[in-house]
Amino acid sequence: MNDFLINLEFFKYPIACSVLVALVCSFLSVYIVLKRIVFVSVAVTQVSSSGIAIALITGLNPTPISLFFTFLAVAIFSIRFSERKLSNESRIGMGFVVASAATILLVSKSAKGIHEIDDLLFGNVLVSTPYQIYFMLGIIACIFITHFLFYKEFTAVTLDFEMARTSGIRARFWELMLYLTIGAAISIGIRTSGNLLITTFLIMPAVNGLLLANRMKNVFIIAVTVGIISALTGFYLSYYFDFPTSPCIVATLFAILCLTLPFRFFYRKS
């Protein structure tokens, strides 16, 4: 622990990056799990990786390229088709596998090759820079302000899309806005955190919150708290045991989820 505190100056940006990703993704995970669009978030994450792969081989700035591809995927996946022969799940599934293959093919042409694939999958928060932190802070602030101002609309389209539409809410517009905020969160964290950690933060914290709370606001509080605690604990454990950071944080999240299940069991019994 003393060694970790001594090196805290070196780790301040990676820790800040991990906490910020945990904060925004854990918050949005509640909408994702309740709306049952986990597969959409996974597919969008993979498309975002494809954007970064293109940036790597072209020498362009990864952030705007990733944002462009992410928002394009969000716009496509959020469209509701009435054709029964081609379900939305099939369309999203095709997008996921095509983006996965494209990422591997593109990165294979990179000078670093397999190492870049590892970074896209697992991330490397240790290379976080002050610019990335400030950029993330700006985007995250916009996301939270938007959700604070329009909490009613986002909650309505998440819990019951058809009911929201019949009650006069512009359901399709607010659903698209929800997808866009999720896409923005993915884009700002994918380069440093990688697919694995981003996807985990978009699922597990909400599951913990839903197991422990019944009120929506409490679910958000628990999800964000679990996400941040997991990020800090996992980061320290990765340093102490010399493990890769992202998988260690994922393992910490899973351990917390396993500890949550007995509480839910006894709560139901009481």
**Which residue has tokens 């294979």?**
108
How many residues can be counted in the chain?
270
Query: Structural domain tally of the chain?
Result: 1
Residue type, 18: S
CATH number for position 114 = 1.10.3470.10
Range of the domain at 208: 2-269
What is the distance between the alpha carbons of residues 161 and 149, in angstroms, rounded to a whole number? Answer: 19
**pTM (whole model) above 0.95:** no
At 269 the pLDDT is: 53
- Helices H / strands E in the chain, number of each: 13, 0
| Average confidence score pLDDT of the chain | 85
User: In a 10 Å sphere around its CB, with 0-12 CB exposed, 13-18 middle and 19+ buried, how is residue 97 labelled?
Assistant: exposed
Write b or e for each residue in 105-116: b if 16 or more Cβ atoms lie within 10 A of its Cβ, otherwise e: ebbeeeeeeeeb
Residue of 35 and 109 predicted with greater confidence: 35
